[in-house]
Amino acid sequence: MDAYETILVETRGRVGLVRLNRPRAFNALNSQLMRELTNALTALDADPAVGAIVITGNERVFAAGADIREMSTATPVDMLVSGYIDLFDRIRSVTKPIIAAVSGWALGGGFELAMTCDMIIASESAKFGQPEINLGIIPGAGGTQRLTRTVGKYLAMEMVLNDRRLSAEEAARWGLVNRVVPVERYLDEALTLAEQLAARAPLALRIAKEAVNKALETSLTEGLAYERRVFFLLFATEDQKEGMQAFLEKREPAWRGQ
């Protein structure tokens, strides 16, 4: 693994675990952290020994957003040339499932990071919000788009325009998180879910992620046609033969990712 200063990276079995680690700045996502995070995710995505990834912070904070200190004097050209927000597209292009394990604050870019992940496990203390309006800006890494697609126009308007924050329970009610668990268990819960995912047929898992994401980006007709094409494609894999044979022979399949 590369040496990182703002994140901690380890593998547990077939799960890659990335911890955001700027506790004194409430894990504010400065450009160094975003670069290190995307480099780590790219490396984990390329590692055949890893099947799924968990991103977490600490019990008190997932991430309190972009680093306001770093951003405060930026010009539009600085923001463009730095490629800072483009790094979110690299996270989005990771092929393996990513779970955000969120405890405490997930604000601004921190909430956007969690929403860029594929599933969210929240601790009872998790709090979600898009407070950018207080700084005279708006969300810039998907907050107006992913949030609205998930919770609909009216709540998104209140959160983005008026800094309405959601408790973990409210987030669960609005379909923003997969489940809420006690603070002592949120990371274990996310790791267990990631282990289950990592044990699944790798190519089907990858295509399943792509297909679900497609649903957010296309019309129903296009999405259904896409699903059918990739469904057919999986019949070219050894894992499809193995999965069905194992079912017929009443044994566990041995996936090869081929």
Please identify the residue of the shown chain whose CB is closest to the bound ligand CO8.
108
Q: Which of 1, 46, 74, 135 binds ligand CO8 (CB under 6 A)?
A: 135
By beta-carbon proximity to ligand CO8, the closer residue of 68 and 215 is 68
Selection from 130, 255, 145, 150 nearest residue 200 by Cα = 255
For residues 62-71, one letter each, b for 16 or more C-beta atoms within 10 angstroms of the residue's C-beta and e for the rest, the string is bbbbbbeebb
Within 18-37, the residues that bind ligand CO8 by CB under 6 A are: 25-26, 28-29
190 lies in the site for ligand CO8, by CB under 6 A: no
Interaction pattern, residues 148-177, with ligand CO8; x per rule: CB under 6 A: ------------------------------
Interaction pattern, residues 73-102, with ligand CO8; x per rule: CB under 6 A: ------------x-----------------
By beta-carbon proximity to ligand CO8, the closer residue of 15 and 29 is 29
257 catalytic? Reply is: no
Phi (first) and psi of residue 136, to 5 degrees: 80, 20
Residues near ligand CO8 (CB under 6 A): 25-26, 28-29, 64-69, 85, 105, 107-109, 112, 131-132, 135, 139-141
